[in-house]
Amino acid sequence: MTQTVDNEDKERSEQLRLLTDSVAAFAAGRLPLARARRLRRALPEFEPAMMAELAGQGWTGLLIEESCGGLGLGFAEAAAVVEGLAAQLAPEPYVAVAVLAARLLQAAAPGARRSALLAGIADGSLVPACAGRDAAGDPDPDRPAFRARRAGSGWVLDGEARYVRPGSGASLYLLLARSEDGWALFEAPASAAGLELRQEPQADGTALARVRASGLRAVEAWPISAEGIAAALDQTLVMNAVELLAVSRGMRPMTLDYTRARVQVGKPIGSFQALQHRQVDLLIAEELAAAAVREAIGALDAGAAAARRSSLACRAKIRAAETALQTAREAVQMHGGIGVTDEYDLGLYVNRTLALAPWLGNARLHRQRWLQLNPPTLDRAG
Q: Which domains does the chain have, with CATH numbers?
A: 2-126 (1.10.540.10), 129-224 (2.40.110.10), 227-381 (1.20.140.10)
Q: Write down the pLDDT at residue 378.
A: 64
- State the pLDDT confidence band at 2, using cuts at 50, 70 and 90: very low
pTM: 0.94
Q: What are the φ and ψ backbone dihedral angles of 137, each rounded to 5 degrees?
A: 75, 20
Within a 10 A sphere around the Cβ of 379, how many other Cβ atoms?
Answer: 6
pLDDT tens string 309-363: 999 999 999 999 999 999 999 999 999 888 888 889 999 999 999 999 999 999 9
Exposure pattern of 14-39 as b/e (b: 16+ CB <10 Å)? eebeebbeebeebbeeebeeeebeeb
Is the pLDDT score of 202 beyond 90? Answer: yes
Please report the sign of the dihedral spanned by the C-alpha atoms of residue 18, residue 25, residue 168, residue 363.
positive
pLDDT tens string 13-54: 999 999 999 999 999 999 999 999 999 999 999 999 999 999
Alpha-carbon distances of 193 from 3, 127, 147, 197, rounded to whole Å: 59, 20, 17, 11
Is the pLDDT score of 259 beyond 80? Answer: yes
197-223 mean pLDDT? 96
Can you say how many angstroms the Cα of residue 161 is from the centroid of all Cα atoms in its chain? Answer: 18
Query: What is the pLDDT of the chain when averaged over all its residues?
Result: 93
